[in-house]
């Protein structure tokens, strides 16, 4: 070991950052100045292509100790719903164990294309990183575990918040100066609240991420990518290819519109987004979506987006969802549901709290731990004001 390395180690042990190095965004590591911290989605693509035509029969599993291996026996015989896995793809197994406390992420070194249970998440590194051995070694380490645990904890907190704030329990409490009185929330039918707009049936092959005049909301993005509140300025929405001709009566989306995914592989059918911050962009609603526009100005921004994605509303949808291999909900059936209408101040403060929760989750996903620590959590700040109202 050279004197230079010894000196560097001593500096780090004494809490100092050596020349040419910096603290990581979490403050946990000392890394070279030239290293960048990126989101996984910047260098990888989530794969959702399924074995619908039964082209592949080879079934794989993701073992915490052995990696991705062939599985001779499998329990789910409906392999049409299995994800397709190619050589060099990565697979995340959410099942935790002693050897994989956050579940293993392994790279497939099997040359033959196979299939994986839909319980797994499959992703592929972008072309320039497909052969980069760094990512495989990184996922073998425990460095990424902290982010997963913190994000899971924040998502649990948000789920609790949604249950507390949006359930039909008739409770009454205050948030700051705003009284939340659920007993006074009146309900309206979905059909009385919304006008259903026209959607299109363009497939992924008709979309691109490079250029175009019109952006298109695809149901797959609603299900696995987009947040409840889709800020058009901050999220990547694909373009329609320039050779696509839209009908003259096409409905272009506006701020406050809701777009619902009416089809999914499971009971996530009915997941929705609320559109905000469109500005001068032209956006349409695509395949397997139900675009809706509120008939009145009775709703604060983001309220509908959060409520329609709440467990309370989704519980109304579950008995209406049809299908076995594919789950779907119709415009007719969704019109049978009901939505509460709190006062505008109640809607605003609830949306503000849930937005703060989303922001914290996004900060963690982006690895911006230091920035998060500089601020008082808006969620915490708001929730400290919750108190029971004596009645």
Q: What is the rounded average pLDDT for all residues in the chain?
A: 84
List, for residues 309-345, the tens digit of each pLDDT value: 999 999 999 999 998 778 999 999 999 999 999 999 9
The pLDDT score that the predictor gives to residue 145 is 79
How far is residue 337's CA from residue 258's CA, in Å, rounded to a whole number? 15
Rg, C-alpha atoms of the chain: 24
Residue 390 has pLDDT above 50, yes or no: no
List, for residues 364-377, the tens digit of each pLDDT value: 776 644 433 433 34
The full DSSP string for 309-378 is TSHHHHHHHGGG-B-SSSEE--HHHHTT-EEEE--HHHHHHHHHHHHHHHHHHHHHHTT-HHHHHHS--H
List, for residues 97-140, the tens digit of each pLDDT value: 777 888 889 999 999 999 888 778 899 988 877 777 888 888 88
Average pLDDT of the residues in 166-190:
91
Cα atoms in the 13 Å half-sphere on the side-chain side of 1: 6
Look up tokens 């298109």; give the residue: 216
List, for residues 222-247, the tens digit of each pLDDT value: 998 899 999 999 888 999 999 999 99
Cα distances (angstroms) measured from residue 107 to each of 43, 61, 69, 90: 15, 11, 10, 4
Percent share of the chain, pLDDT over 70: 89
**Does the predicted model carry a pTM greater than 0.75?**
no
Q: How confident is the model at residue 387 (pLDDT cuts 50, 70, 90)?
A: very low
Of 10-14, 22-26, 175-179, the one with minimum mean pLDDT is 22-26
For residue 241, the SS3 value is coil
The pLDDT score that the predictor gives to residue 224 is 82
Cα atoms in the 13 Å half-sphere on the side-chain side of 151: 14
The token duo for 335 is: 């019109």
The pLDDT score that the predictor gives to residue 72 is 61
């Amino acid at each position: 070991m050279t004197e230079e390395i010894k000196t560097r180690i001593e500096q780090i042990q004494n809490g100092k950052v050596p020349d040419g190095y910096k603290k990581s965004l979490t403050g946990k590591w000392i890394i070279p100045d030239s290293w960048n911290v990126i989101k996984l989605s910047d260098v990888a693509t989530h794969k959702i292509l399924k074995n619908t035509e039964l082209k592949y029969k080879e079934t794989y599993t993701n073992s915490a100790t052995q990696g991705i291996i062939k599985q001779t026996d499998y329990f789910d015989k409906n392999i049409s719903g299995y994800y397709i896995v190619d050589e060099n793809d990565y697979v995340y197994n959410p099942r935790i164990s002693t050897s994989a406390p956050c579940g293993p992420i392994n790279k497939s070194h099997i040359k033959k294309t196979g299939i994986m249970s839909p319980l797994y998440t499959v992703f592929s590194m972008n072309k320039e990183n497909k052969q980069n051995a760094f990512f495989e070694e990184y996922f073998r380490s425990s460095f990424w575990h902290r982010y997963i645990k913190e994000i899971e904890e924040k998502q649990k907190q948000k789920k609790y918040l949604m249950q507390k704030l949006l359930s039909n329990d008739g409770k009454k409490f205050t948030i700051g100066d705003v009284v939340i009185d659920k007993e006074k929330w009146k309900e309206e039918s979905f059909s009385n609240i919304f006008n259903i707009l026209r959607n299109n049936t363009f497939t992924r092959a008709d979309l691109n991420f490079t250029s175009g005049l019109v952006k298109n909301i695809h149901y797959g993005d609603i299900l696995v990518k987009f947040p409840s509140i889709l800020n058009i300025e901050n999220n990547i929405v694909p373009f329609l290819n320039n050779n696509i001709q839209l009908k003259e009566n096409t409905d272009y989306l506006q701020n406050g519109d809701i777009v619902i995914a009416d089809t999914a592989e499971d009971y996530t059918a009915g997941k929705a987004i609320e559109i905000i911050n469109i500005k001068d962009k032209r956006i349409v609603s695509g395949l397997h979506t139900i675009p809706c526009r509120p008939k009145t100005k009775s709703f604060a921004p983001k309220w509908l987006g959060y409520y329609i994605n709440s467990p309370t509303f989704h519980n109304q949808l579950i008995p209406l969802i049809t299908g076995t291999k594919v789950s779907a909900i119709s415009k007719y059936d969704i019109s049978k549901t009901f939505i509460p209408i709190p006062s505008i101040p109640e809607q605003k403060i609830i949306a503000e709290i849930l937005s703060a929760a989303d922001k914290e989750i996004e900060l963690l996903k982006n690895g911006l731990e230091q920035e998060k620590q500089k601020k008082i959590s808006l969620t915490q700040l708001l929730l400290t004001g919750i108190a029971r109202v004596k009645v």
